[in-house]
A = this chain, B = another copy of it.
Amino acid sequence: MHRLPFDEVHAQLAAALRNLGFTEPRASLSARLFAETTRDGVYSHGVNRFQRFVAMIRNGSVDPAAEPRVVSHFGALERWDGARGPGNLNAHAAMARAIALSREQGIGCVALANTNHWMRGGTYGWQAADAGAIGICWTNTMPNVPPWGGLDAAIGNNPLVIAVPRAAGNVVLDIAMSQFSYGALESYSKRGEPLPVDGGFDAEGKLTRDPAAIEATQRLLPIGYWKGSGLAVMLDLIAAMLAAGNATHQIAADPLRESNLSQVFVAMQPAALGDDALVAQIPDAIVASLHRSKPAHPDRPVRYPGENALCLREENMRLGLPIDPAVWSAICALAANH
């Protein structure tokens, strides 16, 4: 594994995106979001994801020049069309608009239709919290999980992100509605390790920790069984209705053609309601209450959502971002090629 400075990774990704038809500011922002994802330790959706993103530009799923535009608005609620532009740029613009609306109205909501995979969802949670807002956002996906009680994929794993600003480190949750992703199953499978908890069904319809058995049945488990299945349905409903966009059942079930997604971005301003000093200490007190909880394993203290990301961010900025040499060669070739 290479260890490369953040700025070098950012510069090469930006050069590659300019070569793919991105304007300079859009190339720089998109590259930064990819590099920050790797910086924060979400390796599956950062630099390692870049080549798939490029493949989706080349097959026409992602239009590098398309910019999102507002379609309709009513008070603090807006509907946008993502025009199949780059998913991370569309999502960043939508959350920025939700934050601006929340500054005017206390709460703001932007629903985005016809967009693409937003890469790391947590990015837009950190964006809101870094701006002092509570952020809630989610996306639908192609059908990739069976609903509870069903055999075939009819719901998406529809990641949900919730972020709260905190001076000593934002609290950011970024969870998909399946217990594990196919990427996670593959990692365990390659290492020959069982999953830490049940992740799906085997060929006999029994719950299993065997990643290969789940890859064979394609029966991933929703979080909390019937509960996460229901939550995925609700997130899909709200995203499609507010955005007047596609629902999961309308999205191509092909990772390289998974486009025209629907997403929702909400920002809220607790400080707008007064009692700022009281409100600002609430996250610290809640984090402290978690840290006081007696750990099940003495050497593994209870952590708050986002705590691990901050540790990895510090380490990766100090040592350099860990980048697979083959991935880096491919990116350098894209950056050099005209």
User: Which positions in A face B, CB cutoff 8 Å?
Assistant: 71-79, 104-109, 111, 134, 146-152, 154-155, 160, 162, 164, 171, 173, 175, 179, 197-198, 205, 207, 223-225, 227-228, 230-231, 233-238, 240-242, 244, 247-250, 266, 268-270, 272-275, 278-279, 282-283, 285-286, 289-290, 292-297, 300-305
A230, A235, A249, most chain B CB atoms within 10 A: A230
Pick from B230, B273, B305: contact of A233, CB below 8 A. Answer: B305
Cβ of A247 and Cβ of B152 under 8 Å apart? no
Copies of this chain, complex-wide, total 2
What are 27 of the A-B contact pairs (CB < 8 Å)? A72-B275, A74-B106, A74-B272, A75-B106, A76-B76, A76-B107, A106-B109, A107-B266, A134-B238, A134-B242, A147-B290, A150-B294, A150-B296, A151-B294, A151-B295, A151-B296, A162-B235, A164-B241, A175-B224, A179-B224, A179-B225, A205-B296, A223-B223, A236-B286, A242-B268, A242-B273, A244-B275
Q: Tell me the minimal C-beta distance from A37 to chain B in angstroms.
A: 19
Q: In the complex, what distance in Å separates the CA atom of A78 from the CA atom of B154?
A: 38
Q: In the complex, what distance in Å separates the CA atom of A228 from the CA atom of B162?
A: 12
Also in contact, A73 and B273, with CB within 8 A (given A249-B285, A289-B247, A296-B150): yes
Cβ of A249 and Cβ of B75 under 8 Å apart? no
Residues of B within 8 Å of A300, CB to CB, are 149
Pick from B71, B198, B286: contact of A237, CB below 8 A. Answer: B286
Pick from B72, B238, B294: contact of A164, CB below 8 A. Answer: B238
Cβ of B162 and Cβ of A238 under 8 Å apart? yes
Residues of B within 8 Å of A155, CB to CB, are 290
Also in contact, A77 and B268, with CB within 8 A (given A147-B293, A175-B230): yes
